[in-house]
Structure 1
Amino acid sequence: MSSSDSLTADAVLDATGLNCPEPVMLLHNKVRDLAAGGLLKVIATDPSTRRDIPKFCMFLGHELIEQQEQAGTYLYWIRKKADA
């Protein structure tokens, strides 16, 4: 059992079939609507998200809790930073 099994997302962003830069653009909008400290699950099929999503989180101060790959699908759990 992986740690992601116990993660309950407050919102899910399904970016399946979308290619760079669309998944990160959608992620940016989705995170903005999320409450501070909220957990977002991202589902993507674009391999470039493995680079782009961690960079996005680091740049904006969000926490990438978990990252998985399952048969060409990339899963991310992102905790929105608490408002300063």
Structure 2
Amino acid sequence: MEKLTADAQLDASGLFCPEPVMLLHSRMRELASGQVLQVVATDPSTQRDIPKFCTFLGHELLQQSEQNQTYEYFIRKGDS
């Protein structure tokens, strides 16, 4: 898997739905279009929620992985 570089990070470890996506939404507003956010979460529902969030709001999910019940996402902010 390609090693991506993020412009910003969001650690949502230990938080449960809907908190990770609420924090993600807030954090994405702070980024410029084209910047990449790395998200780390422990809630399995983020595997469903974050891809839907990206599709709905026009962001690009660059990479999604899971290791030892920790979920990592790299998201490029779309034009908004």
Q: Work out whether the TM-score is over 0.5.
A: yes
CA distance in 1, matches of 2:51, 2:7: 19
After the TM superposition, which segments of 4 or more aligned residues of structure 1 sit over 6 Å from their partners?
A: none
2:33 aligned with 1:47:
no
Gaps of 5+ in 1: none
Question: Where do 5+ consecutive residues of structure 2 fail to align?
Answer: none
1:31-76 Cα deviation digits (max 9, x unpaired): 0001110000000000000000000000000000000001000000
Identity %: 66
Kept after mapping to 1: 8 A contact 2:58/2:79? no
Q: 2:43 & 2:18 partners in 1: Cα distance?
A: 10
* CA RMSD between the two structures: 0.7
Query: What is the CA–CA distance in structure 1 between the aligned matches of 2:71 and 2:10, rounded to whole Å?
Result: 12
TM-score between the two structures when normalised by the length of structure 2: 0.97
Work out which of the residue numbers 8, 12, 17 in structure 1 matches 2:14. 17
Letter of the 1:48 counterpart: S
